[in-house]
Chains A and B, each alone.
Chain A
Amino acid sequence: DADVTQTPRNRITKTGKRIMLECSQTKGHDRMYWYRQDPGLGLRLIYYSFDVKDINKGEISDGYSVSRQAQAKFSLSLESAIPNQTALYFCATSDSTGLVGETQYFGPGTRLLVL
C-alpha cells in the first residue's frame, strides 16, 4: 500500500553495526506496528505503538528498539545487529476507531541481511 512507506527497501550490514529502519504513513492512523518475517514463517510482532506516547513490546522485542517520532513515523532500530536478525521487516498501521475489527495496512517491507 503506497500510503505506508518503508526505507530502505534493502539493506546489508555487518554484525555489530547499528541500523535504523524507517516507516512513514499518510493514512492518518494512530496505531503502528513492526513485524519480522523469516522465510516460510508467519509474521511475528516486534513492537507496536497505539499513539505517540504509547510503545509496547511484542512477541520478539529483544535486540530491537523503536521510536515513534510523530503520529506518522515509527522507526525500528537494531542497536547491534546480529546474523539471526536477517529477515524481512514489515511496518503496518491500523485505525483504532473501534467501529470494526482490526484491519492493518502494510508497507512494502525492508529486506535486511546481517553478515
Chain B
Amino acid sequence: LAKTTQPISMDSYEGQEVNITCSHNNIATNDYITWYQQFPSQGPRFIIQGYKTKVTNEVASLFIPADRKSSTLSLPRVSLSDTAVYYCLVGPRGGSNYQLIWGAGTKLIIKP
C-alpha cells in the first residue's frame, strides 16, 4: 500500500502560482494519483488525476516524474477562494480488496 506525505500547511498570495508536492515512495505499478480539494464543512472535491508525466485541466496541472515516487499539484494564479485543504490520494484502478490511502492533507492559505 502506498503511503503519501504532504506538507502540513502552505501559504501564498493572490495571483501567485502554488505548487504542492506529495511523496509516495511505494506507489504500485497500477496506482493512479488523484488530488482533492476540501473546504471547511464540505466533502472533498476531485481536482485532477494522473498516472505519469503531466496532466492539465481547467483548474490545475499535475506533474509526475518518471519514477512516480512523487507528484506536484500546481495551481496557477491562485485567489482567496483557493484557500482549502488539498489531499493527495494514491490508489489502483478498479480491482478489489484494497484500501484507499489518503495523505494528511495540506492546508493552503491564500493571502490578499
Within 8 A of A (CB), among B45-97: 45-46, 49, 51, 87, 89, 91-97
Query: What sequence of 0s and 1s flags, for each residue 1-38 of chain A, a beta carbon within 8 Å of any chain B beta carbon?
Result: 10010000000000000000000000000000100000
Query: What sequence of 0s and 1s flags, for each residue 86-115 of chain A, a beta carbon within 8 Å of any chain B beta carbon?
Result: 001010100011101111111111010000
- We find that the number of chain A residues with CB closer than 8 angstroms to chain B is 30
CA distance A64 to B93 in the complex (A): 27
Contact status A109-B87, CB under 8 Å:
no
Query: Nearest-CB distance from B105 to chain A (Å)?
Result: 5
Residues on A with beta carbons closer than 8 Å to the beta carbon of B46: 103-105
Nearest chain B residue, comparing its CB with the CB of A97: B94
Contact status A42-B51, CB under 8 Å:
no
Residues on A with beta carbons closer than 8 Å to the beta carbon of B99: 45, 58-59
CA distance A59 to B98 in the complex (A): 11
Contact status A1-B87, CB under 8 Å:
no
Q: Which of A58, A96, A109 contacts B43 (CB 8 A)?
A: A109
CA distance A42 to B36 in the complex (A): 11
List the 6 closest A-B pairs by CB distance, nearest first. Answer: A101-B32, A106-B43, A98-B94, A42-B102, A102-B91, A42-B104
**Further contacts, 12 of them, CB under 8 A, given A58-B99, A104-B100:** A1-B45, A42-B104, A50-B96, A88-B41, A100-B49, A101-B31, A101-B49, A101-B51, A103-B34, A104-B44, A109-B41, A109-B42
